[in-house]
Amino acid sequence: MSWLYLILAIIFELCGTTLMKLSNGLTKIVPAIGMFGSYFLCFWLLSLALKEIEVSVAYAIWSAVGIVVISVIGIVFFNETVNALKIVSILLIVAGVIGLNLSGLKH
């Protein structure tokens, strides 16, 4: 069940971040309310997932998937620019996040 909680936490994090963009700096009330609700559910579900999944593993997966998917959402739905350097940079961020979390280093 913990893996389902983690997957749902990732989905709500992606919803929250997308709604943050749509809220236009929290000036649009409906997306802003949705953002706060999504982040609440995200962190609640993440806390449930952490009952059985090691934090280094859960956080590495949560953050890496979030970085990749929200970047794709930005490119596809918000017409953000994409080029080779941006793609390589995103991949390096993902590799770095995974490496830091799996190495057991404290932040």
Residues 24-78: tens digit of each pLDDT: 999 999 999 999 999 999 999 999 999 999 898 899 889 989 999 999 999 999 9
How many domains are there within the chain?
1
pTM score, whole prediction: 0.86
5-30: average pLDDT: 99
Give the side-chain half-sphere CA count within 13 A for 63: 18
Q: Each residue of 31-47: b (16+ CB within 10 Å) or e?
A: bbebbeebbebbeebbe
Give the domain extent around 81. Answer: 2-103
For residue 28, give the DSSP letter. Answer: S
